């Protein structure tokens, strides 16, 4: 039996099939994943401050406080990337595949720019994860977050490829919205991490 | 995907070919795998324990060397906690939750298959290390600096850190599946206050897993990084501290105890009403107790660290919090006793014996728990056999007894055959007697100063006689469990046919035939009470309702979170090889780190390919809508 017949028959019983909105199980599944990851990032931040307040000086071992300019530009770029993603999401709800693809591509480029800046910044430091515990925790936090950015970039690439084949439409766009939700999470997660890694040195 | 939905059901549930076994996603198939695998680990870890207690049965024995003994007690603890206790709860949940809430599948069947493969691979990798004589040997909580690269240079502790990290991916996936299934896929009319208590217990522990396991995962990853790439998280020389590990571990480790205990409470709340022919007394207080235990359990992890450097204020707080958990626990005990009291004359079947036997054991374990929650007492008995005795009362008496009860209770549903009652009774009484002899005695040797985790001891300390008694008790206990294993092997082929509802129970899983048909429910039932089979007489033949589904569709119904109002039809994902490939990619990435760090991105790429294969929209729309 084809899927279309199946759906007609079920819809006839008075209920819609597979809602595309926040009542979809997949939406809740993605919220579950995001919660898990949020707890993971929270644990990283808690570990950072635990180690910081355990240490006599911070950063230890003569490492200087990080400069703010480059990381601030990176953070601004990453936050900006959420806007084209939201626009892409809104576009496909109206059935506009072209704008969907433009939005995805813009976000993708901004995500790559953020990663490039991180790479430039970290290759400029004269300490690494094996230097001391400050190096360990900062490199681990940045590594974790960058791995998330890479993962979500790959995800966007896949959604883009599906969009290019005309898969998404005004009715069928749950994949885009779930992907967008995760993108926004990776962006928002960077805000407390940015505070932890950079601003906190100057605040207290 | 070209197979029709009908073939999908067949291949996932009844057919057996190599490919269909590897692509199966049906929640009963996967749930059964979780259950069988968990019991296998239980038997293996139990045999380790019997060997250890034989070694200790007299002073100065040399059955096991110190190195092997360290590996044995570590593997016993790791296996029992991570590979038996949590997975058996999740496995029973993944099998029975859909049947208890009137759904045909779990929310994400493929994720379920993935979670199982990860669990299996992480377990096999760990046990291969024992066969090679390289098993983890720093205890199940693996304290640094002992577990750091300086004092444990071999591959042993690497395997601990990597296996536990990897396994958490499995537990977290299962938790998300259970939460979404329970919240979104209940039968129409099953408002959240009509859910069976067992389903509540799984909902609560799934949330606990989501908040407790990521910190552990982070801790074990840090441990692996310290050991493999030279970071300094837990190494004092580079500015790190072992206390960070202790906090991360116990922030998980204490909720962990309740993650396995709350479903056990749920099982007792399932068995006792059935055999008392009465609904549970105090449904609301019992459910609230579960919620409260779940919340409080996050506020008492530091009581495992009383012997460390802590302020008096911190100790006072965590001691008070630890003792307060006795209140919701006690509430449930009174609910069970009241149910027995107010119900009809109980039917003393084996399942009921295990559930009732649980109550005194759990109370004893709870009382010794309050004793060790007081810091001065804790300092006295810390790391002694008293603690070992305490937590075995909680974990065997409080967790394994209900699991055995639920095995006798649900075995007929899973296989269509009853377990033998005579063998069951022998098994229960041998286990109950042997358990008390073995573990009550441990409290005594602990108070006489015997430390845990020593591979032998000298004579003349007054420990030999009680340890011999413990040994005899343990052998009896082992014989008791062996009888149940024998019973399962015997009854699976020749047991008495069970019929749909052998215990005249009230919940929905008993409305389908035994074993359940591949598609689960013919008609998604509409319910108006907590025990629909008692109050609404939903029977196999007489089920009516608007939600009759064709047998061959992988489709179920989605309802609203609180009230269970029907919202939508859900097409559920069918068989796929992608979950297995993803688990293999993950295995390469995690364990590859021991061979070459280059294998980490290689495994990552394999995993990415598997995810694309998993989600890539095919001709069948099912594949987009639900994974």
Facing residue for B238 by CB, picked from A7, A24, A133:
A133
pLDDT digits (tens, 9 = 90+) for A72-127: 999 999 999 999 999 999 999 999 999 999 999 999 999 999 999 999 999 999 99
Of B595, B442, B470, B553, the closest CA to residue B50 belongs to B470
Q: What is the ipTM of this complex?
A: 0.93
Facing residue for B214 by CB, picked from A36, A54, A172:
A36
Facing residue for A18 by CB, picked from B177, B183, B569:
B569
Instruction: Using a CB–CB cutoff of 8 Å, tell me whether B560 touches chain A.
Output: yes
What number does CATH give the domain A40-203? 1.20.120.80
> B131 CA to chain A: closest CA distance, Å?
33
Instruction: Using a CB–CB cutoff of 8 Å, tell me whether A142 touches chain B.
Output: no
Number of A–B residue contacts, CB under 8 Å = 165
Asked if B615 and A154 come within 8 Å (Cβ–Cβ), the reply is: no
Instruction: Please report the pLDDT score of residue A204 as a whole number.
Output: 81
Domain that holds residue B563: 5-458+466-625
Asked if A23 and B616 come within 8 Å (Cβ–Cβ), the reply is: no
CB < 8 Å to A154, chain B: 608
Number of domains, chain B = 1
* Distance in angstroms between the alpha carbons of the first and the last residue of chain B: 14
CA A179 to each of CA A82, A175, B57, B231: distance values in angstroms, whole numbers, following the listed order: 12, 6, 59, 33
Asked if B108 and A25 come within 8 Å (Cβ–Cβ), the reply is: yes
CB < 8 Å to B615, chain A: 158, 175
Instruction: Please report the pLDDT score of residue A171 as a whole number.
Output: 86
**What's the 3-state SS for chain A?**
CCHHHHHHHHHHCCCCECCCCCCCHHHHHHHHHHHHHHHHHHHHHHHHHHHHHHCCCCCCCCCCCCCCHHHHHHHHHHHHCHHHHHHHHHHHHCCCHHHHHHHHHHHHHHHHHHHHHHHHHHHCCCCCCCCCHHHHHHHHHHHHHHHHHHHHHHHHHHHHHHHHCCCCCCCCCHHHHHHHHHHHHHHHHHHHHHHHHHHHHHHC
Facing residue for B240 by CB, picked from A28, A36, A133:
A133
Instruction: Using a CB–CB cutoff of 8 Å, tell me whether A40 touches chain B.
Output: yes
How many other CB atoms are found less than 10 A from the CB of residue B451? 14
Instruction: Please report the pLDDT score of residue B117 as a whole number.
Output: 98
Check residue B393 and report its DSSP letter.
Answer: I
Would you tell me which residues 104-143 of chain B have a C-beta closer than 8 angstroms to some C-beta of chain A? 107-108, 111
* Nearest-angstrom CA–CA distance, B204 and B271: 19
CA B623 to each of CA B418, B590, B618: distance values in angstroms, whole numbers, following the listed order: 38, 28, 7
Chain B interface, best mutation among A13, A46, A136, by max B CB count within 10 A: A136
Low-confidence residues of chain B, pLDDT below 70?
A: 1-16, 537-544, 618-627
Asked if B568 and A132 come within 8 Å (Cβ–Cβ), the reply is: no
Report the residue of chain B nearest A6, measured CA to CA: B553
> A81 CA to chain B: closest CA distance, Å?
23
Instruction: Please report the pLDDT score of residue B538 as a whole number.
Output: 63
Report the residue of chain B nearest A127, measured CA to CA: B231
Give how far the C-alpha of residue B340 lies from the chain's centroid of Cα atoms, to the nearest Å.
27
Instruction: Please report the pLDDT score of residue A114 as a whole number.
Output: 98
B358: CATH: 1.20.210.10
Instruction: Please report the pLDDT score of residue A8 as a whole number.
Output: 55
CA A182 to each of CA A23, A34, A170, B622: distance values in angstroms, whole numbers, following the listed order: 17, 7, 20, 22
Low-confidence residues of chain A, pLDDT below 70?
A: 1-13
Would you tell me which residues 562-581 of chain B have a C-beta closer than 8 angstroms to some C-beta of chain A? 566-571
């Amino acid at each position: 039996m084809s899927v279309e017949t199946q759906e007609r028959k079920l819809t006839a019983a008075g209920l819609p099939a597979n809602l595309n909105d926040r009542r979809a199980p997949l939406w809740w599944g993605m919220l579950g994943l995001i919660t898990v990851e949020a707890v993971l990032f929270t644990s990283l931040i808690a570990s950072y401050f635990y180690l910081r307040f355990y240490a006599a000086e911070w950063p230890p071992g003569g490492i200087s406080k990080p400069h703010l300019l480059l990381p601030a530009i990176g953070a601004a770029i990453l936050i900006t990337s959420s806007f084209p993603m939201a626009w892409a999401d809104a576009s496909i709800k109206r059935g506009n595949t072209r704008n969907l693809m433009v939005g995805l591509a813009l976000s993708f480029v901004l995500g790559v720019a953020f990663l490039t800046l991180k790479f430039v910044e970290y290759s400029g430091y004269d300490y690494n994860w094996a230097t001391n515990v400050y190096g360990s925790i900062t490199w681990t936090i940045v590594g974790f977050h960058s791995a998330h950015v890479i993962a979500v970039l790959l995800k966007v690439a896949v959604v883009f490829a599906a969009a290019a084949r005309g898969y998404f439409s005004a009715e069928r766009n749950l994949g885009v919205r779930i992907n967008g939700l995760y993108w926004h999470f990776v962006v928002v997660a960077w805000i407390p991490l940015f505070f932890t890694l950079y601003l906190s040195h100057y605040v207290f | 995907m070209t197979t029709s939905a009908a073939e999908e059901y067949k291949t996932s549930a009844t057919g057996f070919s190599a490919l269909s076994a590897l692509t199966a996603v049906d929640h009963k198939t996967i749930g059964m795998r979780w259950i069988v695998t968990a019991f296998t680990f239980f038997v293996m870890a139990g045999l380790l324990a019997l060997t250890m207690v034989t070694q200790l049965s007299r002073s100065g024995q040399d059955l096991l060397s110190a190195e092997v003994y360290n590996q044995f007690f570590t593997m016993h603890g790791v296996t029992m906690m991570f590979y038996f206790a949590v997975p058996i709860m999740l496995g029973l949940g993944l099998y029975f939750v859909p049947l208890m809430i009137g759904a045909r599948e779990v929310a994400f069947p493929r994720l379920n298959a993935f979670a199982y493969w990860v669990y299996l691979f992480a377990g096999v990798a760990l046990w291969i290390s024992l066969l090679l004589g390289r098993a983890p040997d720093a205890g199940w909580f693996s304290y640094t600096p002992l577990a750091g690269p300086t004092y444990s240079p071999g591959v042993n502790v690497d395997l601990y850190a990597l296996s536990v990290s990897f396994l958490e991916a499995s537990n977290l996936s299962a938790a998300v599946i259970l939460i979404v299934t329970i919240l979104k896929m209940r039968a129409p009319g099953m408002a959240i206050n009509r859910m069976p208590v067992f389903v509540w217990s799984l909902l609560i522990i799934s949330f606990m897993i989501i908040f407790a396991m990521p910190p552990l995962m982070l801790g074990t990853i840090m441990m692996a990084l310290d050991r493999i790439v030279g970071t300094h998280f837990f190494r004092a020389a580079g500015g790190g501290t072992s206390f960070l590990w202790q906090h991360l571990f116990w922030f998980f480790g204490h909720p962990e105890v309740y993650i396995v205990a709350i479903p056990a409470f749920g099982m007792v709340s399932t068995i006792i009403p059935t055999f008392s022919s009465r609904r549970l007394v105090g449904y609301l207080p019992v459910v609230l107790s579960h919620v409260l235990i779940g919340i409080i359990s996050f506020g008492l992890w530091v009581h495992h660290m009383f012997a460390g450097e802590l302020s008096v204020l911190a100790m006072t707080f965590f001691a008070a919090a630890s003792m307060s958990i006795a209140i919701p626990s006690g509430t449930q005990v009174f609910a069970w006793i009241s149910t027995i009291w107010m119900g009809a004359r109980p039917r003393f079947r084996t399942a009921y014996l295990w559930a009732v036997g649980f109550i005194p054991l759990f109370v004893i374990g709870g009382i010794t728990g309050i004793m060790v929650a007081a810091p001065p007492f804790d300092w006295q008995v810390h790391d002694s056999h008293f603690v070992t005795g305490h937590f075995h009362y909680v974990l065997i008496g409080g967790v394994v007894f209900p699991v055995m009860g639920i095995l006798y209770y649900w075995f007929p549903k899973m296989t269509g055959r009853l377990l033998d009652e005579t063998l069951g009774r022998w098994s229960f009484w041998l286990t109950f007697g042997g358990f008390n002899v073995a573990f009550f005695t441990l409290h005594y040797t602990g108070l006489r100063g015997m430390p845990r985790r020593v591979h032998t001891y000298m004579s003349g300390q007054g420990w030999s006689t009680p340890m011999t008694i413990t040994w005899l008790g343990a052998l009896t206990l082992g014989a008791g469990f062996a009888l149940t294993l024998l019973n399962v092997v015997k009854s699976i082929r020749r047991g008495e046919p069970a019929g749909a509802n052998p215990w005249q129970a009230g919940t929905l899983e008993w409305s389908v035939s035994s074993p359940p048909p591949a598609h689960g429910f013919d008609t998604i039932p509409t319910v108006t009470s907590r025990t629909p089979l008692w109050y609404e007489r939903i029977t196999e033949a007489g089920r009516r309702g608007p939600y009759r589904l064709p047998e061959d569709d992988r489709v179920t119904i989605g309802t609203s979170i609180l009230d269970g109002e029907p919202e939508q039809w859900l097409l559920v994902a069918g068989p796929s090889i992608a979950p297995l490939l993803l688990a293999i990619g993950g295995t390469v990435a995690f364990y590859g780190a021991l061979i070459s760090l280059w294998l980490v991105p290689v495994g990552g790429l394999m995993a990415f390919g598997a995810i694309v294969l998993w989600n890539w929209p095919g001709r069948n729309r099912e594949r987009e809508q639900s994974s």
